[in-house]
């Protein structure tokens, strides 16, 4: 069994590493839908899925409801990374995610990302 102090130390080091990545503009978790990496490991907009995700933001800007956006996303064949149609809660999370605006988050703090904004 790991001692409490060791677990706390590992947790603190991990959190510090994630904070440093975010401060450097790097993503700290799995890439959101619509993004991929190029051959050099740089985050880029996925040429197939990215435009469809961008379209979701355009639909929201046009004042469509989440249910209407969900129907449109099903109609265009947009699916999650697991191959499922997007749930309303997933759409809401996508539309609120600051990564799509070019930011990375560490806790409640936003940093300018070094990836392209999708909208």
For residue 39, is it within any domain?
A: yes
**Structural domain boundaries enclosing 93:** 4-112
Classify 110 as helix, strand or coil: strand
Burial classification of residue 110, based on how many CB atoms lie within 10 Å of its CB (0-12 exposed, 13-18 middle, 19 or more buried): middle
Model's pTM, two decimal places?
0.84
For residue 31, is it within any domain?
A: yes
Interatomic CA distance for residues 60 and 72, integer angstroms:
11
Q: What is the CATH number of the domain that holds 92?
A: 3.90.1750
Write out pLDDT tens, residues 92-102: 999 999 999 99
Write out pLDDT tens, residues 16-63: 777 787 787 788 789 999 999 999 999 999 999 999 999 999 999 999
For residue 119, is it within any domain?
A: no
């Amino acid at each position: 069994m790991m001692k409490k102090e060791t677990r706390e130390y590992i947790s603190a080091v991990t959190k510090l590493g994630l904070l440093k990545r975010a401060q450097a503009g790097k993503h700290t978790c799995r890439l959101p839908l619509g993004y991929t990496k190029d051959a050099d490991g740089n985050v880029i907009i996925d040429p197939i899925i990215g435009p469809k995700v961008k379209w979701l933001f355009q639909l929201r800007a046009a004042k469509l409801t989440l249910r209407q956006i969900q129907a449109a996303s099903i109609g265009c064949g947009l699916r999650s990374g697991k191959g499922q149609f997007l749930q309303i809660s997933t759409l809401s999370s996508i539309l609120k995610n600051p990564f799509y605006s070019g930011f990375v988050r560490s806790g409640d703090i936003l940093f300018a990302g070094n990836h392209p904004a999708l909208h």
